[in-house]
C-alpha cells in the first residue's frame, strides 16, 4: 500500500507544473567562465566572470541586472565586481586579480540576475585557486617578497629560476623573461657582512647575476651604507650594458645587502630594470621583503 501511495504521489508531481526543481527561478543563469576545472594563481591570474542568462523559453534575456560575488576559500567575500551586458543574454564582470596571499583552495562564483516583473535566477560555480609565486617561494625558502607588478606587466610571462646549494645557500631570480624589463633577485649566503664599500662591491660581483653578466656589467659600481627596514645595510648601485640573454636588460641595477635577525645567512636583494619608470615600483616591491 505504501508503494502504491508513493507511486501516485510521484505521478501527481510529474503532472503538476508547480513541482519544479527548488531554486530554479524564472529562467536559467549559467556561469560560462570560470569552469570547475579552471585553475588560477594568486596575483598572476586575472579573472573575468562570464554568464549567460535565458528566460523560461530559452531566449536570451537583455537588460538584466546581474550581481556577482567572488567567495574566497575561507568563506569571505573577496570581490563584488560590476557586471555589464556584453551581448544579448551574455554578461561579463570587470576583471578581478586574485590576491597574493590566501589564494590556494576552492573559490566560488555566486551570481544573481533580476529582470522584468520581479523575475530572478541564480547560479554558482566553484573553481580552483593556486598559491601565488610569493607564497610558493615562502614555503620553499622561508622569505617573503611580492612579485613585481608594474603597470602593463605580463603576468602570463612571469618566470623564476631558483638554485640551492649543498650548504643551504642559494638564490631566486624573478622576472618576465623576454617580455619586459623588470627583475627581482634574492640571494642568501653564509658570509660576513662586508666591512667596507670595496668589499661590498666585490661581494655583489661574485653573485650569480654578476658572474653570468660579467661581460655586460659596467665596472663602475658605487656602494654606501644606509638603512633598509630599520637595518644598517650596504646599497650597491651599477648598470648593465646592452647584450643578449635574460640578464642583459641594459639598465640600472641595485643590490641591498642586509643581515636578518636569527638568520645565519647574509641576504642580498637585487632589482634590475631598463625602464626608469619601473624603478620606483621595484623599490616598493623590495620593501615587501620579509626575513625568514
- Residue 196 pLDDT grade (very low, low, confident, very high; cuts 50, 70, 90): very high
Check the CA dihedral 180-181-184-190 and report its sign: positive
5 pLDDT higher than 50: no
Q: Which CATH fold would you assign to the domain 23-130? A: Immunoglobulin-like (2.60.40)
| Over residues 258-283, mean pLDDT | 90
Determine which of 178-187, 200-209, 234-243 has the lowest per-residue pLDDT on average: 178-187
Most confident of the following: 173-182, 230-239, 248-257: 230-239
Q: Where does 145-259 have alpha helices with state H?
A: 197-205, 208-212
Q: Model confidence over 119-139: pLDDT tens digits?
A: 999 999 999 999 999 999 999
- Residue 15 pLDDT grade (very low, low, confident, very high; cuts 50, 70, 90): very low
133-287 has CATH 3.40.1000 classification: yes
Determine which of 151-165, 229-243, 250-264 has the lowest per-residue pLDDT on average: 151-165
pLDDT score recorded for residue 240: 76
Bridge partners of residue 214, in order along the sequence:
none
Whole-angstrom distance, CA of residue 110 vs CA of residue 31: 9
242 CB burial (10 A radius; 0-12, 13-18, 19+): exposed
- Residue 33 pLDDT grade (very low, low, confident, very high; cuts 50, 70, 90): very high
Q: What percent of the chain has pLDDT over 70?
A: 80
Determine which of 144-148, 229-233, 264-268 has the lowest per-residue pLDDT on average: 144-148
Determine which of 8-12, 93-97, 206-210, 261-265 has the lowest per-residue pLDDT on average: 8-12
pTM confidence score:
0.76
pLDDT score recorded for residue 6: 41
| Over residues 49-74, mean pLDDT | 96
Q: What is the rounded average pLDDT for all residues in the chain?
A: 84
Cβ 188 vs Cβ 182: under 8 Å: no
Cβ 90 vs Cβ 69: under 8 Å: no
Where do the structural domains in the chain lie, given as residue ranges? 23-130, 133-287
pLDDT higher for 244 or 59? 59
Whole-angstrom distance, CA of residue 3 vs CA of residue 9: 10
pLDDT score recorded for residue 201: 94
277 pLDDT higher than 90: no
Got the DSSP string for 4-18? HHHHHHHHHHHH-TT
Amino acid at each position: 500500500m505504501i508503494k502504491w501511495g508513493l507511486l501516485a504521489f510521484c505521478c501527481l508531481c510529474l503532472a503538476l507544473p508547480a513541482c519544479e526543481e527548488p531554486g530554479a527561478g524564472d529562467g536559467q543563469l549559467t556561469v560560462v567562465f570560470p569552469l570547475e576545472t579552471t585553475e588560477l594563481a594568486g596575483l598572476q591570474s586575472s579573472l573575468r566572470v562570464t554568464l549567460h542568462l535565458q528566460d523560461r523559453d530559452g531566449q536570451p534575456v537583455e537588460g538584466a541586472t546581474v550581481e556577482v560575488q567572488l567567495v574566497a576559500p575561507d568563506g569571505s567575500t573577496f570581490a563584488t565586481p560590476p557586471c555589464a551586458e556584453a551581448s544579448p543574454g551574455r554578461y561579463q564582470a570587470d576583471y578581478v586579480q586574485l590576491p597574493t596571499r590566501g589564494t590556494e583552495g576552492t573559490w566560488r562564483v555566486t551570481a544573481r540576475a533580476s529582470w522584468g516583473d520581479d523575475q530572478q535566477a541564480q547560479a554558482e560555480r566553484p573553481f580552483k585557486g593556486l598559491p601565488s609565486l610569493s607564497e610558493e617561494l615562502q614555503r620553499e625558502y622561508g622569505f617573503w617578497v611580492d612579485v613585481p607588478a608594474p603597470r602593463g606587466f605580463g603576468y602570463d610571462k612571469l618566470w623564476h629560476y631558483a638554485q640551492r646549494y649543498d650548504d643551504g645557500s642559494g638564490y631566486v631570480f624573478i622576472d618576465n623573461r623576454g617580455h619586459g624589463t623588470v627583475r627581482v633577485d634574492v640571494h642568501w649566503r653564509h658570509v660576513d657582512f662586508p666591512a667596507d664599500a670595496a668589499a661590498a662591491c666585490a661581494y655583489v660581483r661574485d653573485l650569480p647575476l654578476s658572474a653570468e653578466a660579467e661581460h655586460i656589467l659596467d665596472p663602475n659600481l658605487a656602494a654606501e651604507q644606509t638603512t633598509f627596514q630599520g637595518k644598517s645595510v650596504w646599497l650597491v648601485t651599477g648598470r648593465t650594458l646592452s647584450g643578449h640573454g635574460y640578464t642583459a636588460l641594459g639598465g640600472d641595477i641595485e643590490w641591498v645587502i642586509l643581515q636578518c635577525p636569527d638568520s645565519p645567512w647574509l641576504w642580498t636583494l637585487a632589482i634590475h630594470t631598463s625602464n626608469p619608470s619601473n624603478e620606483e615600483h621595484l623599490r616598493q616591491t623590495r620593501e615587501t621583503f620579509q626575513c625568514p
